[in-house]
Structure 1
Amino acid sequence: MSKILDLDKPVYELAKEYPDFIDIFASLGFADIKNPVMLNSMGRIITVNKGSKMKKIPLEKIKEVFAEHDYEIKGDSEESKEEDTLKAAKKGSDLPKDDTNSTELIKQYLLRLSNGESLESVQKDFKERFESVDSSEIMKAEQELMESGMPYQEVQKLCDVHSALFHGSTKNETSEIEKTLDLASGSGADTKELVDTVGHPLNTFTKENKNLENYIDEFEKKLDNNTVDRELLKKIRELSIHYAKKGDLLYPLLKTKYNVTGPATVMWSVDDEIRDELARLFAIDKEDEKWVEDIKAVLTRAKEMIYKEENILFPICAANFTGEDWINIYLDSKDYENCLGVVPESFELAENLNREFDDIDGEIVLPGGHFTKEQLIAMLNTMPFEITFVDENDINRFFNENDAPKAFKRPLMAIDRDVYSCHPPKIEPMVREIIGSFKSGTQDEVSVWLNKNGKDMLIKYMAVRDKNGKYMGTMEIVQDMDFARKHFEEEA
């Protein structure tokens, strides 16, 4: 059986079909193909044509090398295909009826919208060809448009129009996603199953979306009756927390770990626009005709974003993220306020695990990250205050050493001495009382304000405890607050 190098076929499929494909392709400058994560993620999107263009490796050279390995070459160059697509788009015509490349068809529809053709006209042609469309095909089409040179701002501008074009036609809406592949680990991961898993991040995101949609529907009904419910609008604005979680936890992971850049580039920008527009309108007291028009428009965009999340973003995340990714997302999401009337439930799989970094040679590994010794010293010395740490036995253990003049001198000779020996007799009783209250648990912090050499200073003593509340020592922070006083005097 002859081997066929289809230039338009995803390299993932070629690698599965021909055992020698990976080594040949890697030898041409595509070393990433040997990385299983890259093969299973970007390999499903990138064709030989696109790889040639992205890596700037001549297509003729690729053809020549594969021909030497007894491959028959099939397919047109990417450039000629895109020219044909653009020509068809400008004419407003469709590709031939027997064309099976749905991604190219979708690109054509998007290009027609970009060229100013009406949504109704394009949507009519789209519905004649597609009963349903997979969310990954929409993502690939938008990503390929950006790769071919269309500015991401243009794709972003059309993001809501794209959503309207496909609304009601994604496979998520017509049937459940069956066995969505977890591209990072190779195991099956059904989006619906993740959404239905109690406490899973997608479970929480989906509940937030459901409440948000209900809030918007209720607000719009009242608006139709000439009533503006400011309290309800305030609830709707909590979508900013929902968007912040996406922006911090989902988009960067897709972009940096799995090289899925479309949602991160386009949807993230749309999130910001929706959030900012809601803030602008909320700050306006006069609810005139223009205000009503603008609020309706932004709420429509917010509803379209719900659609895009549930039918494009979430399935893409489910198809890429590993179980470990979801656990990290769940744990990190605890840092965010609850929003949209949803109190996240416990995700048992994550709650039963301790998240720690592996030991790294030459670095100090902490629960929140890792540093070289030099980095840690530099960071502590950059902090704009004087830090002292006294251990549970009242022994001085650490002073930072920033370059600013110190309000209270701390000679290194004082390290490993008891803290009381560093204070004059009239201050020592106060220090003993503060530390004693920390040890007994009656206090956790004490603030002392004073004026020293004409400057307002804040001295803050804080009990240092482990996660079980056990006393481990006292931290003292001294900060020159004169800058704050001057700031507020200037503001007054």
Structure 2
Amino acid sequence: MKKELNLNQKVFELCETYPELIEILSNVGFTEITKKNALQTVGKWMTIPKAAKLRGIDMADIVAALEEAGFSVEEPVDRVTLLKSYLERLNHGENLENVRADFVQDFEGVDASEILQAEEEMVLEGMPYQEVQKLCDVHSALFHGSTREEQVYKAELAVEDSLRRQGASVFVAIPGHPLSTLTLENEILAMLIDEAQHHCEDDQKTDELFDKIREVSIHYAKKGDLIYPLLKERYGISGPADVMWAVDDEIRDTFQALAQEIKRNKSWKERYLVNLERAEEMIYKETNILFPLCAQTFTKKDWEELYWDSLGYEPCLMDEIPVWEDAKPRKTETKIKGHDIVLPTGKLTVEQLRALLNTIPMEISFVDENDINRYFNEGYKLFKRPNMALGRTVTSCHPPQIAQMVQQILEDFKTGQQDSVEVWMEKRGKLVLVRYMAVRDEEGNYLGTAEFVQDMEAVRKKFL
């Protein structure tokens, strides 16, 4: 009895059903399939035809090997050709709703990630992402009915089905997990959009909701800075970065442009409602395509990196960022490894560090916890810093009246009364900002004081 093989299924799913496929596919050229990590990450979104195209392996050879092993191969539906036909029809001026109707008929019941993968192939084949981006408006047909109730119902069904199959629900249920926080932001945004759509004629209410809704730019920034590059650079999944990212930017930029306009006239409200709908559709796309794709692709380490980096952003649509209790603490150790100085946020050679410090457009000095001069960066200085001063007390480098002020600043830093002091002055006909800053470790212990001298003359000429 022959075993049926659907080439539209993901490699991981096929190998779960037929473990013998691993050896068969390895023998025809997919050698990395024997690596468990590759199978459980890339294999969860890769199909055999797509892998064959990327590796330059003839599908005829693959099918022959599969049939020889007793498999009956079902030819895959050419999603790319279908999507291209939709684009051609749109470019020839056909009504969007007609194209949407055919899209629903052809793609109903298809895993949403397959749509994304088909779009990726189009980009890989050289089609400009701006063209592929047009399909985003067609996608929404899968999640929209004729009434709002039907729209919500179909969207919820699609979300539940996708989460169940992709496993994203596991992460969504973990408080503070990046996928949980992003989903929570979307839930809040969806409620705000719904309220905004119902109160569009109330200008005061519109302004209140609009200010809050614009915080979605933080949500989009996290996707653009953290998720899209990780998918593209680490896992070779370029679809979201090439298509969805551009839509994010358009939604954000449209909200920003609307915010610059004072009048809330009919034209403004029409554009506002259209952009709200686009933001609403992006929620559906994230939930049904992007988040499940991330859930099946990212490792726990990836998610932990995302979490710690996400803490650098302002809270989006909530008062504070939820804490992920189980996130493994990020390494903060500093060490010398070979020729590198390894820091928590990267590593530099001594030559790179020296050049970097000398390139910063300001004079930098460092005094240790005992008030001893330890470091000056190199180059021209308004305030001369002779190397002979290194190893001496900082007060010995100043006249008595200045030394007393410097000593007081250092004492305030040591006791925690102050963390920074700014002094503006004229020096050789230039406006100069001198900033003293306490340097502390992670526990708040005083390590010394940094002095930064910055020529502000160019700023004065430009803005004053």
Whether these two folds match at TM > 0.5 is: yes
Identify unmatched segments of 5+ residues in structure 2: 145-153
- Please tell me whether residue 487 in structure 1 is matched to residue 462 in structure 2: yes
Matching residue within 385, 392, 399 for 2:362: 385
Give per-residue Cα distances to partners, 1:420-468, cap 9 Å, x unaligned: 2222333221221111111122111111122111111111111111122
Shift of 1:246: 1.0
d(CA) in 2 for partners of 1:268, 1:58: 31
d(CA) in 2 for partners of 1:175, 1:69: 31
TM-score with structure 1 length normalisation?
0.80
Aligned residue number for residue 414 of structure 2:
439
d(CA) in 1 for partners of 2:287, 2:66: 44
d(CA) in 2 for partners of 1:3, 1:210: 43
Paired residues for 1:65-104 under 5 Å: 101=76, 104=78
Aligned residue number for residue 112 of structure 1:
86
Determine if contact 2:366/2:376 at 8 Å carries over to the other structure. Answer: yes
Structure 1 290/430 Cα, relative in aligned 2: closer, same or farther at 3 Å? same
Indicate the SS of the match to 1:346: coil
d(CA) in 1 for partners of 2:115, 2:61: 33
RMSD across aligned positions (CA): 3.4
- Please tell me whether residue 266 in structure 1 is matched to residue 266 in structure 2: no
Aligned residue number for residue 25 of structure 2:
21
Matching residue within 430, 434, 453 for 1:455: 430
Shift of 1:68: 10
Give per-residue Cα distances to partners, 1:5-30, cap 9 Å, x unaligned: 9988766557851425325516xxxx
Structure 1 151/37 Cα, relative in aligned 2: closer, same or farther at 3 Å? farther
Indicate the SS of the match to 1:338: coil
Kindly provide the amino acid, as one letter, of the partner of residue 287 in structure 1: R
Shift of 1:172: 4.0
d(CA) in 1 for partners of 2:8, 2:196: 48
Shift of 1:298: 0.9
Shift of 1:338: 1.3
Indicate the SS of the match to 1:365: strand
Paired residues for 1:158-307 under 5 Å: 158-167=135-144, 168=154, 172-173=158-159, 175=161, 177-178=163-164, 180=166, 190-224=167-201, 229-307=206-284
Matching residue within 366, 373, 379 for 2:350: 373
Question: What is the identity percentage for the equivalent residue pairs of Structure 1 and Structure 2?
Answer: 46
Kindly provide the amino acid, as one letter, of the partner of residue 383 in structure 1: I
Determine if contact 1:172/1:311 at 8 Å carries over to the other structure. Answer: yes
Shift of 1:255: 1.0
Structure 1 460/141 Cα, relative in aligned 2: closer, same or farther at 3 Å? same
Give per-residue Cα distances to partners, 1:62-114, cap 9 Å, x unaligned: 867997999689999xxxxxxxxxxxxxxxxxxxxxx8745x35751563254
Structure 1 20/441 Cα, relative in aligned 2: closer, same or farther at 3 Å? same
- Which stretch has the larger CA shift, 285-294 or 8-17? 8-17
Determine if contact 1:2/1:72 at 8 Å carries over to the other structure. Answer: no
Shift of 1:274: 0.4
Determine if contact 1:194/1:203 at 8 Å carries over to the other structure. Answer: yes
TM-score with structure 2 length normalisation?
0.85
Aligned residue number for residue 148 of structure 2:
none
Count matched residues.
447
Aligned residue number for residue 398 of structure 2:
423
Structure 1 271/101 Cα, relative in aligned 2: closer, same or farther at 3 Å? same
Shift of 1:253: 0.8
Give per-residue Cα distances to partners, 1:340-384, cap 9 Å, x unaligned: 23532211012x624347964321111121111111111111101
Give per-residue Cα distances to partners, 1:394-444, cap 9 Å, x unaligned: 11111111x3x2011112222222222222333221221111111122111
Kindly provide the amino acid, as one letter, of the partner of residue 249 in structure 1: L
Determine if contact 1:457/1:481 at 8 Å carries over to the other structure. Answer: yes
d(CA) in 2 for partners of 1:4, 1:376: 60
Indicate the SS of the match to 1:229: helix
Structure 1 72/151 Cα, relative in aligned 2: closer, same or farther at 3 Å? farther
Determine if contact 1:357/1:369 at 8 Å carries over to the other structure. Answer: no
Structure 1 210/68 Cα, relative in aligned 2: closer, same or farther at 3 Å? closer
Give per-residue Cα distances to partners, 1:257-298, cap 9 Å, x unaligned: 111111111111100000001111121122333222211111
Kindly provide the amino acid, as one letter, of the partner of residue 217 in structure 2: S
Indicate the SS of the match to 1:347: coil
Structure 1 342/205 Cα, relative in aligned 2: closer, same or farther at 3 Å? farther
Structure 1 241/7 Cα, relative in aligned 2: closer, same or farther at 3 Å? closer
Aligned residue number for residue 343 of structure 1:
320
Shift of 1:136: 1.7
Determine if contact 2:425/2:431 at 8 Å carries over to the other structure. Answer: yes
Identify unmatched segments of 5+ residues in structure 1: 77-98, 181-189
Give per-residue Cα distances to partners, 1:92-139, cap 9 Å, x unaligned: xxxxxxx8745x357515632542254444444455566533222122
Determine if contact 1:395/1:416 at 8 Å carries over to the other structure. Answer: yes
Determine if contact 1:135/1:171 at 8 Å carries over to the other structure. Answer: no
Aligned residue number for residue 184 of structure 1:
none
Structure 1 230/415 Cα, relative in aligned 2: closer, same or farther at 3 Å? same
Kindly provide the amino acid, as one letter, of the partner of residue 202 in structure 1: L
Kindly provide the amino acid, as one letter, of the partner of residue 304 in structure 1: E
Aligned residue number for residue 83 of structure 1:
none
- Please tell me whether residue 475 in structure 1 is matched to residue 450 in structure 2: yes
Determine if contact 1:458/1:479 at 8 Å carries over to the other structure. Answer: yes
d(CA) in 1 for partners of 2:7, 2:172: 37
- Which stretch has the larger CA shift, 135-144 or 231-240? 135-144
d(CA) in 1 for partners of 2:270, 2:132: 24
Determine if contact 1:113/1:119 at 8 Å carries over to the other structure. Answer: no
